[in-house]
């Protein structure tokens, strides 16, 4: 006995939404990575004993990079999984963008709180 093949009808709106939200995620990811490079300048106004500020800036930069990587993994793995199951795919790039943007905002708040 053979199992009937699973036919799924993919919506055009889902495909377009997934593509557009993937583009949004690429922009958010690039922006978060590039702007996180400026975190190191938080210690520019400090002339003596700035190790704590520099460590905090490095930790905040690492946090942003980990959040961006997590957002990419969630978006790609979620979209592939949803595609295999025949579910809506466009929510996964949106979730990945929110993770990347949230990580950047948390990193920015950490750096801002350590101003000398």
| Model confidence band, residue 9 (pLDDT cutoffs 50, 70, 90) | low
Mean pLDDT throughout 33-58?
Answer: 82
| Model confidence band, residue 49 (pLDDT cutoffs 50, 70, 90) | confident
62: nearest Cα among 40, 44, 46, 42: 40
**How far apart (Å, rounded) are the C-alpha atoms in residues 67 and 107?**
10
- Average pLDDT of the chain is 88
- What pLDDT, in 10s, does the model give residues 63-77? 999 999 999 999 999
Q: Is the pLDDT of residue 1 over 60?
A: no
Domain boundaries, the chain: 12-112
Q: Which tokens sit at 4?
A: 């009937």
């Amino acid at each position: 006995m053979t199992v009937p093949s699973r036919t799924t009808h993919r919506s055009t709106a889902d495909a377009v939404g997934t593509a557009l939200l993937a583009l949004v995620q690429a922009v958010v990811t690039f922006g978060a990575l590039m702007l996180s490079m400026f975190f190191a300048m938080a210690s520019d106004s400090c002339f003596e004993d700035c190790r704590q500020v520099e460590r905090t800036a490095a930790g905040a930069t690492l946090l942003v990079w980990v959040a961006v990587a997590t957002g990419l993994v969630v978006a790609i793995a979620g979209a592939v999984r949803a595609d295999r199951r025949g579910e809506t795919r466009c929510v996964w790039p949106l979730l990945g963008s929110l993770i990347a943007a949230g990580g950047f905002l948390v990193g920015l708040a950490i750096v801002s709180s350590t101003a000398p």
